């Protein structure tokens, strides 16, 4: 007897939507890291004394938005990586590194794309290192104590420009 209704797992067709959102969130992160230095110069040159709400508008709110965008970017990277059709970590492999993972024992290893997503998602906090003439911007993901104990990592130092190279290769 033939089944009346064949139940199949639906095919995922979210890769273009995910990459569009990756581009959107990455753009937010890049705007934040590259504008911060100029905004600091502006405040230093033109605003003397205490400017509590200006500081909030120019620095605190954009940082909150950048961190939210960073987390969402990581989630969409995982969506693409978990999709059997794309599996971005297999495509990228270990040919490209995106920073450095520092383990609890002090050892260091290259940070791969899936690790980037996981460490962003599981970080307790984010420390931003803004670009200089000699260095790319970085975001340092710091593990919570339970996360560090469970997965044996303390810090993931992500090169934002290297991540941008990867994001820029995705079609949307």
Contacts of 92 (CB under 8 A, 6+ apart): 112, 113, 166
Q: What is the pTM of this model?
A: 0.85
pLDDT at res. 166 = 86
Task: List phi, psi (to 5°) of 132.
Answer: -125, 180
Query: Which ranges of 3-60 would DSSP assign to H, the alpha helix?
Result: 15-46, 52-55
Distance CA 158, CA 94 (A): 15
Provide the residue ranges of all domains of the chain, joining segments of one domain with +. 15-169
pLDDT at res. 14 = 59
Tens place of pLDDT per residue across the chain (172 aa): 555 555 455 444 557 788 899 999 999 999 999 999 999 999 999 999 999 999 999 999 999 999 999 999 999 998 888 876 666 766 666 667 899 999 999 999 999 888 999 999 999 999 999 999 899 999 999 998 877 778 789 999 999 999 998 888 887 6
Distance CA 69, CA 22 (A): 9
Contacts of 100 (CB under 8 A, 6+ apart): 108, 109, 110, 111, 156, 157
Distance CA 168, CA 162 (A): 10
pLDDT at res. 10 = 47
Contacts of 170 (CB under 8 A, 6+ apart): 19, 22, 23, 80
Are 89 and 138 in contact by the 8 Å Cβ rule? The answer is no
């Amino acid at each position: 007897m033939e089944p009346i209704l064949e139940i199949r797992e639906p095919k995922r067709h979210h890769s273009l939507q995910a990459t569009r959102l990756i581009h959107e969130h990455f753009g937010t992160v890049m705007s934040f890291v590259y504008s911060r230095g100029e905004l600091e110069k502006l405040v230093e040159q033109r605003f003397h004394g205490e400017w509590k709400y200006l500081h909030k508008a120019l620095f605190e709110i954009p940082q909150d938005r950048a961190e939210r965008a960073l987390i969402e970017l990581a989630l969409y990277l995982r969506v693409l990586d978990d999709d059997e059709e794309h599996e971005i970590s297999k495509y990228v492999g270990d040919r490209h590194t995106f920073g450095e993972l520092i383990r609890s024992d002090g050892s260091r290893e290259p940070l791969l794309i899936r690790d980037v997503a996981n460490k962003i998602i599981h970080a307790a906090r984010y420390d931003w290192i803004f670009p200089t003439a000699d260095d790319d911007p970085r975001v340092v993901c710091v593990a919570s104590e339970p996360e560090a104990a469970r997965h044996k990592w303390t810090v993931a130092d992500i090169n934002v420009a290297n991540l941008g190279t990867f994001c820029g290769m995705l079609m949307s």
